[in-house]
């Protein structure tokens, strides 16, 4: 069902999701994106540049974060703008992986143009990893 602007209230949660990442996920994403930087799959290389271990691609995290909004909106074309700030890495442990959690809330409503701003809280291990994560969704 497509959301209706009149049914929304600022502060309401419209979507929630959790995404499990493994080292295999990172290798698959590297192949799809062409980003084969070894900090995304080799601990020794990640540690040699001062990281505590392998980290997920920022764009992978960004893509996962918007997916609950796309699902809620019912059509990816309804997402007319999406922006984030990368604030902290998502470290993906070789044995247990990582889980990224997303909570999407209505941040603002523009009734004149039928657009909802959806604010995303994206966390890993209880820490926010994307700052000012916002999607604008056309509900006309």
Using the predicted structure, report yes or no on whether residue 86 has a pLDDT greater than 90.
yes
In a domain, 71, yes or no: yes
Both tokens assigned to 91: 């470290």
Helices (H), 4-138: 23-33, 43-48, 58-73
Q: Indicate the pLDDT class of residue 94, thresholds 50, 70 and 90.
A: very high
In a domain, 81, yes or no: yes
pTM, rounded to two decimals: 0.94
Q: Indicate the pLDDT class of residue 85, thresholds 50, 70 and 90.
A: very high
pLDDT at 102 (0 to 100):
98
In a domain, 25, yes or no: no
In a domain, 48, yes or no: no
Per the CB < 8 A criterion, the answer to whether 123 and 71 are in contact is no
In a domain, 53, yes or no: no
Using the predicted structure, report yes or no on whether residue 1 has a pLDDT greater than 90.
no
What CATH number should be reported for the domain holding residue 97?
3.10.129.10
In a domain, 34, yes or no: no
Once rounded to an integer, what is the mean pLDDT over residues 96-116? 98
- For the four alpha carbons of 22, 28, 33 and 38, in that order, the dihedral sign comes to positive
In a domain, 112, yes or no: yes
In a domain, 49, yes or no: no
Look up the domain containing 134 and give its range. Answer: 5-19+58-138
pLDDT > 90 fraction of the chain, expressed in percent and rounded = 99
Spatial separation of the C-alpha atoms in residues 16 and 99, rounded to whole Å: 13
- Beta strands, E only, the chain: 13-21, 79-86, 98-110, 115-124, 127-138
Residues pairing with 115 in the sheet: 110, 138
The domain total for the chain is 1
Give the pairing type, strands 127-138 and 98-110. unpaired
Measure Cα distances from 1 to 15, 71, 73, 81, 139 in Å: 13, 10, 8, 21, 12
Q: What is the pLDDT of residues 8-66, one digit of tens each?
A: 999 999 999 999 999 999 999 999 999 999 999 999 999 999 999 999 999 999 999 99
């Amino acid at each position: 069902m497509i959301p209706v602007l009149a049914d929304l209230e600022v502060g309401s949660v419209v979507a929630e999701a959790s995404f499990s990442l493994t080292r295999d996920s990172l290798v698959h994403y590297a192949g799809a994106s062409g980003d084969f930087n070894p900090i995304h799959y080799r601990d020794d290389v990640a540690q040699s540049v001062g990281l505590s271990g392998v980290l997920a691609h920022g764009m992978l995290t960004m893509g996962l974060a918007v997916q609950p909004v796309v699902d809620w909106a019912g059509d990816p074309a309804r997402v007319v703008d999406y922006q984030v700030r990368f604030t902290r890495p998502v470290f993906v442990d070789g044995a247990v992986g990582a889980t990224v959690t997303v909570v999407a809330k209505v941040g603002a409503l523009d009734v004149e143009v039928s657009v909802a701003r959806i604010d995303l809280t994206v966390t890993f291990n209880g820490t926010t990893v994307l700052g000012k994560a916002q999607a604008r969704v056309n509900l006309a």
